[in-house]
Structure 1
């Protein structure tokens, strides 16, 4: 997606695209928004996985105290 977006930008800057500039600006802006959201989702996925891993490790090292009423 990044390569394609960069190609569109360079083509547009070099006047190789025959559609209106407002339309191109809008499409480029939308594509950049989608890319930013995809990056945020990936970051959240890895963060969530890491936090779950840390919680599992912490539970193994420090099990919950057993009550005397068990």
Structure 2
């Protein structure tokens, strides 16, 4: 398996999103898109989780492979 295939698989991995997280992200993330630390503090998680949620909900394309 090539490195690109491994990266693509890890990006496509399903993550569990609670209804609260989904609703909060859809409502508030666009205003805090460039302040992920503030979004994480408000949501009660870390920045990595905010990035995962944003990518999964297609609110942000950062770190998504273009292949």
Structure showing greater relative contact order (alpha-carbon pairs closer than 8 Å, 6 or more residues apart):
2
Structure number, greater radius of gyration: 1
TM-score by length of 1: 0.30
TM-score by length of 2: 0.31
